[in-house]
A and B are shown apart, each in its own frame.
Chain A
Amino acid sequence: MKSRCLVFAAAAFALGGGAAYAQGGCELKLGAMGPMSGGAAQWGLGMEAAATLAAAEVNAQGGLQVGDKKCHVTIISYDSKYTADGAAAGSNGLASQDIKFIIGPVGSPENTGIKPVAARNGQLAWNASYAKNALEAKYPLMFHIAPGPSAWADTLIKTAKQTFPMKSVALIAPNDQGGTDIVSVDAAAYRDNGVTTTEEYYQRGTTNFAPIITRVLALHPDVVDTASSPPGDAGVIIKQLRLAGFGGPIGRLGGPGTDEILRVAGGLDVVKNFYWFETVPTEDPKVRAIDDLYRKLVGKEPVGGTSFWADLPAARLTLKAISMAGTIDDVQKVAEVLRKLPVEDPNMGKGIWSGQKAFSINQELFFPFGVGIIKDGKNLGVKKVEPVM
Chain B
Amino acid sequence: MDVARDVRQSAGLARQGPLLGAAEIAALLIFAASFAIPLLTRSVLVYSVLNQILVGVVAALSVWIMLRMNLLSFATPTFMAIGGYTVAIAGQYDITDGFLLTAASFALPALVAVPLGALVLRLRGTYFVLVTFVLSQIMQLLLFETPGLTGGSNGIAGIPPVTLLGMELASNRAVLLFACFLALLATLITALLTRFFRQHFAAIEENEILAQSLGLVVWRYKALGFVVAAGIAGLAGFSLVNMLLTAHPSSFDSITAVDFIAYTIVGGRVSILGPIVGSTVLVWATNLFGTHGQYAQGLYGVLILVVVLAARGGIVGTVVTLLRRIRRAA
Contact = CB atoms under 8 A, between A and B. Distances in A.
Whether A and B touch directly in their complex, counting CB atoms under 8 A apart, is answered as yes
Contacts of A93: 45, 48, 287, 290-291
A197 interface: no
A206 interface: no
Interface in A124-140: 131-133
Given A10-B45, A84-B244, A112-B248, A177 B153 contact: yes
Interface string B121-163: 0000000000000000000010010000000111101100000
B329 interface: no
Nearest to A80: B290
Contacts, number: 154
A120 interface: yes
Contact of A89 (B30, B52, B249): B52
B246 A78 contact: no
B165 interface: no
A148 interface: no
Interface in A5-59: 5-7, 9-10, 12-13, 16-17, 32, 36-38, 41, 44-45, 48
Interface stretch (B68-76, B89-97, B204-212, B292-300): B292-300
B23 interface: no
A84 B288 contact: no
A89 B250 contact: no
Interface of B: 30, 33-34, 36-37, 40-41, 43-50, 52, 141, 144, 152-155, 157-158, 172, 240, 243-246, 248-251, 253, 280, 284, 286-288, 290-294, 296-297
B154 A177 contact: yes
A5 B287 contact: no
Contact of A180 (B43, B152, B290, B296): B152
B294 A83 contact: no
A168 to B, nearest CB: 25
A121 B248 CA distance: 21
Given A2-B34, A96-B43, A113-B244, A78 B155 contact: no
A82 interface: yes
Given A6-B46, A89-B52, A97-B291, 17 more contacts: A2-B37, A3-B36, A3-B37, A9-B46, A13-B291, A17-B291, A48-B293, A77-B292, A78-B293, A83-B251, A85-B244, A85-B250, A93-B290, A95-B48, A113-B246, A117-B245, A181-B153
A315 B9 CA distance: 58
A203 B253 CA distance: 13
B249 A176 contact: yes
Contacts of A281: none
B40 A3 contact: yes
A179 interface: yes
> What secondary structure prevails in chain A residues at the interface with B?
helix
Contacts of A159: none
B246 A116 contact: yes
Contact of A12 (B34, B280, B288): B288
A133 B49 CA distance: 27
Interface in A85-131: 85-86, 88-90, 92-97, 108-109, 112-113, 115-117, 120-121, 131
Interface residues of A, number: 59
B48 A112 contact: no
A222 interface: no
Contacts of B33: 2
Contact of A9 (B44, B47, B49, B240): B49
23 contacts: A2-B33, A3-B40, A6-B50, A9-B49, A9-B287, A9-B288, A16-B288, A45-B294, A83-B248, A83-B250, A83-B253, A84-B244, A89-B287, A92-B49, A96-B44, A97-B291, A112-B246, A113-B246, A115-B157, A117-B245, A132-B154, A133-B154, A203-B141
Contact of B291 (A78, A88, A120, A179): A78
Contacts of B253: 83
Nearest to A179: B153
Nearest to A177: B153
Given A89-B52, A93-B290, A112-B246, A36 B280 contact: no
A112 B154 contact: yes
